[in-house]
Amino acid sequence: MIRERGNAAYQRWSVGYHTLALAVVSTTALALLGWLGVVWAAVFGWFLLRAQLLPGRRLAPKHVGLIEIGNCVLLLAAIWLSWG
């Protein structure tokens, strides 16, 4: 969202990657983890939504960084729930 800003091919690749990741995580996590699979599907669903919507917003690097910090906290919370 910073270095590849305005690169439509990179955004398509990112959306495709996150779509595939959501599909894999959803099917695997739902089968193996039960309700935690829903948490993982929601996390990766958010990542897909972020990949689709944020690149066109022309956000300042500071704002992108803050969003990514929040994404890291979200991912760590999902990991913590899975281990707990």
Condensed to tens digits (0 to 9), the pLDDT of residues 46-76 reads 999 999 998 888 889 999 999 999 999 999 9
Domain assignment of residue 26, given as a range: 8-83
- The candidate with the shortest Cα–Cα distance to 54, out of 18, 24, 78, is 18
- Between CA 4 and CA 79 the distance in angstroms is 29
Looking at residue 51, its amino acid is A
Q: Is residue 59 part of a domain?
A: yes
- Checking if the pLDDT of 31 tops 90, the result is no
Is 1 a domain residue?
A: no
Is 29 among the domain residues? yes
Tell me, yes or no, whether 44 lies in a domain.
Answer: yes
Contacts of 59 (CB under 8 A, 6+ apart): 1, 67
C-alpha atoms less than 13 angstroms from C-alpha of 21 in its C-beta half-sphere:
16
Please indicate, yes or no, if residue 2 is contained in any of the structural domains: no
How crowded is the C-beta side of 38, counted as CA atoms within 13 Å?
2
- Looking at per-residue pLDDT, the higher value among 26 and 72 belongs to 72
Output the pTM of the full model: 0.85
Domain total for the chain? 1
2 pLDDT more than 90: no
